[in-house]
């Protein structure tokens, strides 16, 4: 199988042994504690699940700035985005202490993990602006990723982490949430030699469905992992439970059996465009995929990034040999009336725009809200019904 990023094997920070988990949870009751931000908690979940292999915990200020400037940590590891624990206040916490990390996303803020504090630092306004500019390519507070970043606090805690649970993801999304360890094992058990990964934070329409098939066919893949983001999104995005139901129905009815794994991961969307696309590629390499689909405006939002910046970063800024996973560059995909099938639009040069079935997201939401199914060429009727039920129940 493909090796994890920067390591011979996965390095999940979840404490596997129940006795050790209980002992750490008991110890945490007497430790100083901090309430994590949602992003900080998601980072802990990803560290625990092995997606952040080979990281051992949260980054310090020097590593954060190095990663922002050069996509490398101080010890030379290629990494595209800082992995931080930013809080409003650190109280009496000092380096060398063990502290409890409390989960902001569950009532009562239970302990999510334990950190061995290496450093306690402060990010200045200049530091925050610099990190935003490098990672998000903007400091605009209207950008949802920048807004979430700026709202986390300025006190930076770094150090190794032991993760005790997977927050709300394991309970609320029991059918979907999977660690990198679990997905890698599932791929191995199925005997897949080549695996395509498809990232989604939205329901999948006909174009997305066919894009997975196109990628599988062209790289000679044995299967595809449809990998859903389960964490915090921007207002207006469709909840993970609805997305999951829609995707499951599509796979059940329209994909050959045993060629698709549906899984989810516990991370808050950054909307960081190109940098986040590289991070997503690392996630997929760590979970065992050999190929990763990058489409138009991957991980983008608004007009902050060019349509294909998330593809060109792999050619322009990712050093050769740093990632083992291969990128499948995809164009905008749509149903061709001329050819009576879904195609990548760049591969239909004899077409005009009116030759495709194209609907804006706004138009689709408006139709669904009024109980009007989009054309069958755009969305499978069974998928459209699930989405109509959701919009009409709001």
Enzyme catalytic residues: 201-202
The answer to whether 387 and 203 have CB atoms below 8 angstroms apart is yes
The answer to whether 8 and 129 have CB atoms below 8 angstroms apart is no
Radius of gyration of the chain (CA): 21
Distance CA 161, CA 83 (A): 12
The answer to whether 76 and 113 have CB atoms below 8 angstroms apart is no
- The DSSP output letter for 75 is T
Rounded to 5°, angle at Cα 56 from 105 and 74: 115
Closest Cα to residue 243, out of 167, 331, 145, 176? 176
Distance CA 190, CA 257 (A): 12
Distance CA 201, CA 213 (A): 19
Distance CA 239, CA 227 (A): 15
Placement of tokens 């300025």 in the chain: 154
Distance CA 219, CA 286 (A): 19
How does strand 291-294 pair with strand 195-200?
parallel
Write out the two tokens for 209: 């469905």
Write out the two tokens for 187: 């791929």
User: Within 10 A of 54 (CB to CB), how many other CB atoms are there?
Assistant: 16
The answer to whether 275 and 80 have CB atoms below 8 angstroms apart is yes
How does strand 223-229 pair with strand 195-200?
parallel
Write out the two tokens for 143: 């950008």
């Amino acid at each position: 199988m493909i090796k994890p990023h920067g390591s011979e094997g996965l390095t999940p920070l979840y404490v596997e042994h129940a006795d050790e988990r209980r002992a750490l949870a008991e110890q945490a009751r007497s430790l100083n504690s901090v309430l994590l931000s949602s992003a900080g908690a998601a980072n802990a979940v990803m560290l625990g699940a092995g997606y952040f292999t080979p990281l051992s915990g949260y980054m310090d200020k020097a590593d954060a700035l190095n990663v922002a400037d050069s996509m490398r940590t101080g010890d030379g590891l290629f990494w595209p985005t800082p992995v931080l624990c930013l809080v409003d206040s650190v109280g009496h916490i000092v380096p060398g202490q063990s502290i409890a990390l409390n989960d902001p996303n569950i009532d009562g803020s239970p302990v999510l993990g334990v950190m061995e504090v290496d450093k306690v630092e402060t990010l200045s306004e200049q530091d925050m602006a610099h990190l935003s500019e490098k990672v998000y390519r903007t400091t605009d507070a209207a950008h949802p990723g920048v807004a979430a970043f700026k709202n986390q606090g300025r006190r930076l805690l770094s150090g190794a982490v032991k993760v005790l649970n997977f927050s709300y993801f394991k309970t609320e999304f029991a059918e979907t949430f999977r660690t990198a360890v679990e997905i890698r094992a599932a791929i191995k058990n199925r005997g897949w030699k080549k695996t395509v990964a498809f990232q989604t934070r939205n329901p999948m329409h006909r174009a997305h469905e066919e894009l997975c098939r196109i990628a599988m066919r062209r790289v000679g893949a044995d299967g595809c992992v449809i990998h859903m983001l389960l964490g915090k999104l921007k207002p207006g995005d469709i909840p993970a439970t609805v997305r999951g139901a829609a995707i499951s129905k599509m796979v059940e009815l329209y994909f050959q059996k045993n060629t698709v794994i549906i899984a989810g991961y516990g991370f808050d969307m950054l909307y960081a465009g190109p940098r986040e696309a590289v991070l997503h590629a690392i996630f997929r390499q760590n979970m065992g995929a050999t190929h990763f689909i990058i489409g138009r405006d991957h991980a983008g939002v608004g007009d902050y990034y060019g349509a294909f910046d998330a593809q060109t970063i792999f050619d322009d800024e990712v050093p050769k040999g740093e990632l083992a996973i291969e990128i499948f560059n995809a164009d905008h995909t749509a149903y061709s009336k001329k050819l009576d099938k879904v195609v990548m639009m760049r591969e239909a040069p004899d077409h005009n725009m009116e030759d495709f079935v194209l609907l804006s997201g706004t138009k689709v939401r408006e139709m669904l809200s009024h109980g009007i199914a989009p054309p069958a060429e755009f969305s499978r009727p069974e998928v459209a019904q699930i989405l109509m039920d959701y919009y009409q129940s709001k």
